[in-house]
Structure 1
Amino acid sequence: MGQETIATAPAARRRMTPRDVAESFRTATPLELLFDLCFVVAIAQSAAGLHHALASGHVGDGLLSYAMTFFAIWWAWMNFSWFASAYDTDDVPYRIAAMVQITGALILAAGIPRAFEQRDFSIAVLGYVVMRTALVANWLRAAASDPEGRGTALRYAVGVTLVEAAWVVMLTIPSGIRLWAWLFLACADLSVPVWAERRHRTAWHPRHIAERYGLFTLIVLGESILAATLAVQGALDAEQAGAGLYGVAAGGLLIVFSMWWLYFAKPAHRFLTSNRAAFLWGYGHYLVFGSAAAVGAGLSAAVDDATGHFHGGAIARGAVVTVPVAVFLLAVWWLQHRPHQVSLSHKVLVPGAAVLVLAGTFTPVPVPATGVVLAVVVTIAVLVARRESAAARSQLTVTP
């Protein structure tokens, strides 16, 4: 569908009718890829804010601001992706709505530094409102074009609008209770899809959704590599390179390569068979995406430590990398590996690795140690998978 021209697209598609949930060769479109690419800016801003907070020793404030800003990025991306999976018409109004959402993402990105430094979320909320307003327009259009799904589309439009207005009101309340208001509104935002799809499921495509999440994971991992690369480059330009810096660079590469390997080790679309499974899997990716981007911030802070510019405590110097890596491992294991009913060795391998990674916090070289642990885990996982595959083939051969 993404390759059809606007002029030749069927009239039914231009009416924003739902797509076939079993559609063959359903893949990400060029517009979706552009959408993801533009979201890199917001992710980079959020990760950079976390990096500066970690390096300056303001861990608590940095983590809180990071969790809040990354939630807005993730949730806006997620809503666009699931809507596109069900109603992507690729016509002029749809493309314009997507570009408005991209504009909102860039406004959000522009407001992230202010959110970190001054706890001023006005610009970030403005960008969020722009994105959500375009989403509401899409849902209203879907309600007008899809009689069977009209109730669901209208509930989405109403729910998103009400919560969007509440986000704006949040800016006017005293700062002392704003955090509690944020938590309430985040829960309200998360509940909209659950409420909207109680009676009628939208026509999202399992393979398409799995691919979209995989692509966004690649983008977040790429952001981690970029953040670490820029940090190393800055240290080299300042002629502050040493053994510690090279250890961070090597360990960081092992970490990111292993994270990629473990995430894509098991296909996800096979168990996305219901809204219940899809909601848990989709919402759980907040931890996957957030921790992956935080690894980049942690690696940048580790470079600061190797060059004498880190102002956190002794434990923090290792935890800035080991904690997000451990969160990533546990989230990927729970969401991607566990549903496949893997063997006992697979069930304990990744959680055990997360424990070892956390233990590496207290070593003199936490980043290289984490990289080695992950590389060993990947090696064991590959060997176990080969053994299980050979055993399965052997059983099929001897079965009469």
Structure 2
Amino acid sequence: MFHHHRHERAADGTRSRATWAELFYDIVLAFGVSQTTHILGHSPSWATFGQALLMLTPLWWAWVDVALAVTMVEETHVERLLLLAAGLATYGMGVAAPRAMSGHAEAALFAGSYLVLRLLMGEATRRERPFARTIHPYSAGVVFALALTAGAFVSGPARAAIWAGAILAEAVLPAVMSRRLHAMTYSAAHLPERFGLFIIIALGENILAVGARASAGALTAALVAALVLSFVIGGALWWLYFHLAAPAVEHSMRTHRTPATVVRDVLSYGHLVLVLGLLLVAVGTGNTVAHPTGVSHDPSAALLPIGAALFALTFGYTRWRMFGAASATRIGAGLCLLGLAAGAPFLPAIATLGATAVLLVAVNGLEHWLVATGRRVPLLFHRPVPTGHELT
């Protein structure tokens, strides 16, 4: 019975649940995400932020394409082997990520692994034939991977420019080729589950970063307080996503006139910003735990509230794309967090941590009270809803 449940199919033939092979792939991906976090955490600056973003974005688009590719097929031994091969390629990218911008061997491993991953996904979609034309997001992705491979053989600013151009072009591809995405079949259950699992991975990075920093220092009252507040922040971010946002995504996938729009704007673009926000939170909380009572007078002290603000504000965008209006509660929380970020360099780190926790708990508590008492969450930026359906 359990075996049958894990392979349950939706009425349209798409996958309705994640498989064990997909979850194994996610473990490998978690390592890659952790490596990009370490890039920024080692020396927070605009330069390292750009490097971390350059490493994270290919990992993200590769994972998106893996999630979309496997939702169209029945699980077989061939598909399991394909996911394992994709996992090995992703593993290579994660190993190379910290030094891919400076080392020749690491750059070759990162770009070569990405090219292999793209070729594997291209072959998977070719076998399923979801696209009527030769040029589509999967085949174009191979071109961008070739550009990364070419950039691996140059050094310094030239490599950064080539990689940034290729990654930016790949990022805008879903918007340019949005009509081609309509040819694919999307699972209203499987895809939201997969993207929710990625959010769990990014949230887990916060737990790992804080725990590693805490275990390396002396156990003091300030450290214990910082640990508790960091955990509260992680729980509050989890609640922001899984209490209302995750069910809303699945509802939108079932009711939106063009599910491909939800896949592109909410899952692909929106969730990339959500993950980026969580990684900034991970670095920010890790730095706070390392020096809880210190006042840094450094812009890096704002990473925590900026990451939390990105996370909250992105829900405004995703809800607007799905249902035609943004939640005023989350927009307001995001703006308050940005205000906190402006003053964070001049505050003790634990004060920034505590204020962030209070703001996140407050917005969750307010939304819970509104829903529990039958009141509507106040909305902003109204526009016509494509389906006539709306979720409070």
Q: Secondary structure at the match of 1:27?
A: coil
Higher mean Cα deviation, 380-389 or 76-85? 380-389
Contact preservation (8 Å) 1:39, 1:105 = yes
**Within the alignment, does 1:78 sit opposite 2:78 as a pair?**
no
Alignment match, 1:260: 238
3-state DSSP class of the match of 2:195?
Answer: helix
1:1-400 maps to which residues of 2 (within 5 A)? 3=3, 22=12, 26-54=16-44, 59-85=45-71, 87-115=72-100, 121-143=107-129, 149-152=130-133, 155-173=136-154, 175-194=156-175, 198-199=179-180, 200-235=182-217, 240-264=218-242, 265-266=244-245, 267-272=248-253, 273=256, 274=258, 275-281=260-266, 282-306=268-292, 313-336=296-319, 339-340=322-323, 345-346=328-329, 348-359=331-342, 361=344, 362-364=346-348, 365-388=351-374
Q: Which has the larger radius of gyration?
A: 1
CA separation of 1:125/1:297 partners in 2, compared to 1, >3 Å: closer, same or farther? same
Instruction: Note the alpha carbon deviations across 1:149-177, whole angstroms, 9 max, x for none.
Output: 34257634532222222221122345323
The verdict on how the C-alpha distance between 1:243 and 1:341 changes in structure 2, with shifts beyond 3 A counting, is: farther
The 8 Å contact of residues 69 and 112 in structure 1, kept in 2 or not, is answered as yes
State the distance in 2 between where 1:214 and 1:381 align: 20
Structure with more relative contact order (C-alpha pairs < 8 Å, separation 6 or more): 1
* TM superposition shift of 1:351: 3.2
RMSD over aligned CA atoms reads: 3.2
Corresponding residue for 1:15?
none
Q: Distance in 1 between matches of 2:327 and 2:95?
A: 47
Task: Give distance in 2, aligned partners of 1:33 and 1:95.
Answer: 11
Kindly state the Cα deviation for residue 136 of structure 1 after the two structures are TM-superposed.
1.5
Cα deviation for residue 292 of structure 1 reads 0.9
Could you list the runs of 4 or more consecutive aligned residues of structure 1 that deviate by over 6 angstroms after TM superposition?
none
**C-alpha separation in 1, matches of 2:54 and 2:326:** 37
Alpha-carbon shift at residue 21 of structure 1 (Å):
6.8
Secondary structure, counterpart of 2:136 in structure 1: helix
Deviation, structure 1 residue 201: 1.8
> What is the count of residue pairs matched by the alignment?
364
1:379/1:353 CA distance change after superposition, 3 Å: farther
Shift of the 299–209 alpha-carbon distance from structure 1 to 2, 3 Å rule, reads same
CA distance in 2, matches of 1:204, 1:2: 24
1:301, 1:320 within 8 Å by CA — same for their partners in 2? Answer: no
Instruction: Judge conservation of contact 2:252–2:262 (CA < 8 Å) in 1.
Output: yes
For structure 2, the residue ranges without an aligned partner over 5 or more in a row are: 378-392
Write out per-residue CA displacement over residues 98-129 of structure 1, whole angstroms, 9 at most, x where no aligned residue.
11110011101110221366595322212212
- Partner-residue secondary structure (3-state), 1:268: helix
Distance, in Å, in 1 between the alignment partners of 2:331 and 2:145 is 42
Q: Any idea what the Cα deviations from partners look like across 1:344-383, whole Å, max 9, x if unmatched?
A: 7536443344335425514322112211221122111211
Decide whether the 8 Å contact of 2:229 with 2:357 is kept in 1: yes
Q: TM-score, normalised by structure 1?
A: 0.80
Check conservation: 1:258, 1:375, Cα contact below 8 A. Answer: yes
Residue identity over aligned pairs, in percent, reads: 20
Contact 1:353 1:377 in 2 (8 A): no
Q: Could you tell which deviates more after superposition, 251-260 or 20-29?
A: 20-29
Cα pair 1:360 1:370 within 8 Å, conserved: no
Shift of 1:135: 0.8
8 A contact 1:125–1:168 mirrored in 2: yes
* 8 A contact 1:49–1:116 mirrored in 2: no
For 2:327 and 2:303, how far apart are their aligned partners in 1?
30
Inter-partner Cα distance in structure 2 for 1:356 and 1:223: 25
Amino acid paired to 1:32: E
Match of 2:388 in 1: none
TM superposition score normalised by structure 2: 0.82
Aligned to 1:394: none
